[in-house]
Copies of this chain bind each other. A is one copy, B any other.
Amino acid sequence: MAEMFARRMGTVHRSFIREILKVTANPEIISFAGGLPNPELFPVAAMGKAAHEVFSNIGASALQYSTTEGDAGLRAIIARRYRENRGLVVDPDSILITTGSQQILDIVAKVFIDQGDKVVIERPGYLGAIQAFSLFEPEFVTVSLEPDGPNLDELEAAFRDGAKCFYSVPNFQNPSGVSYSLAKRKGVAELLDRYDVLFIEDDPYGELRFMGEDLPSIYSFCNKPGILCGSFSKIAAPGFRIGWLVAGQAAYDKLVIAKQAADLHTSTVAQAIMRRYLETNDIESHVALIRERYGYQRGVMVEMIRQYFPSCVTIIEPEGGMFLWATMPEGFSSMDLFDVAIKDKVAFVPGRPFYVDGTGENTMRLNFSNSDEARIEAGIKRLGKSIEAFLE
């Protein structure tokens, strides 16, 4: 069988995080490794009511095949929210509903990436994008992510060197928690105007800001059409697998073809329930609730880290999202620390898989969205001990 696999499968492996999650299934382990939203905040009753209404009101049409572009009502709601919440004018006909925002990465890669094309990503970069893009065999070019966003000199050098596209997560990036400053956003947009590089702006966490000011999307500064990606996974629930992209006409037409070949269309049932939920509930209050809770959990984690981590471990304090990034002194391996920490019954994700260049050995990602105050306190205390023992 092995000799039958396509060449592209040669360099792709199961997600490292996936393998970690198996180890952390033991309930005695306090895990900051996953990337799950807090299920206590899922609007279960409201979704149940929406589902009931969908089956009562529209019945069979919620169960039938539907258009590749996605439910028109749902796309109108997404466009309205962009306008009202972000001041961004988006034509509903430029919105394509996708099976989670992960699917966007797959179809964008399929439509744009030839083998060997230079794809610019942040360093560290989002693992789901690295996985999806890798199957189309690009050459990854990484740009340092500084606390206020990408290093613009490196970015321009990459653009000058013939980059095909730039994949960016400007708000509370996974894994680093970094958010681009206004100046960096404008700087990126200015570079995009000068070079023929496709811009892919992924924004699953943008509405989860706990502190600081909301900043405009880079997309809004660009004069050329890019691809803007969104998702209901972090503001409603991930189990629906509903994301969306916004694209210019030429790209949109090709992306529809790729989407149709990939799965015909996103679940009609899931779209209908989500639409009904959005029509009959105040999602803005719900998002405010998530922001408040995650902001609190983030605060507890930062506080506990100050208390229990040795001072040589530095962190990036995120202004939103779900992740916090920690860096040990040079020369220490978070992969090795992981083994120590698991014995102390606490888990995190070692940073190396987020670096396609094999660096990042001394970094780690900690998730704060899926643990309550008590577990964060106990877990960070354990991890602080593990780190101290490990560094000695």
Q: Which residues of A contact B (CB under 8 A)?
A: 1-2, 4-9, 12-15, 18, 36-37, 39-40, 42, 44-45, 47-48, 51-52, 54-56, 59-66, 68, 99-100, 102-103, 105-106, 110-114, 117, 128, 131-132, 134-136, 164, 196, 198, 225, 233, 237-241, 248, 250-251, 253-254, 256-258, 260-270, 272-273
Contact = CB atoms under 8 A, between A and B. Distances in A.
A138 to B, nearest CB: 10
Contacts of A54: 51
Contacts of A113: 6
A272 B233 CA distance: 17
A267 B241 contact: yes
Nearest to A104: B263
Contacts of A260: 14-15, 18, 131
A151 B338 CA distance: 58
Contacts of A106: 261-263
B266 A241 contact: yes
A66 B262 contact: no
B110 A263 contact: no
B64 A8 contact: no
20 contacts: A1-B251, A6-B117, A7-B114, A12-B257, A14-B253, A36-B64, A37-B64, A42-B59, A42-B63, A51-B52, A52-B52, A62-B239, A99-B99, A102-B263, A128-B261, A240-B268, A241-B265, A241-B268, A263-B263, A269-B270
Interface centre among A48, A112, A113 (most CB of B within 10 A): A48
B264 A102 contact: yes
Contact of A264 (B100, B250, B251, B269): B100
Contacts of A13: 257
Given A99-B263, A131-B261, A65 B269 contact: no
Contacts of A128: 261, 264
Contacts of A7: 114
A105 to B, nearest CB: 8
Nearest to A65: B238
Q: Which 8 A-B pairs have the closest CB atoms?
A: A48-B55, A239-B268, A63-B237, A39-B60, A1-B250, A63-B239, A51-B51, A99-B263
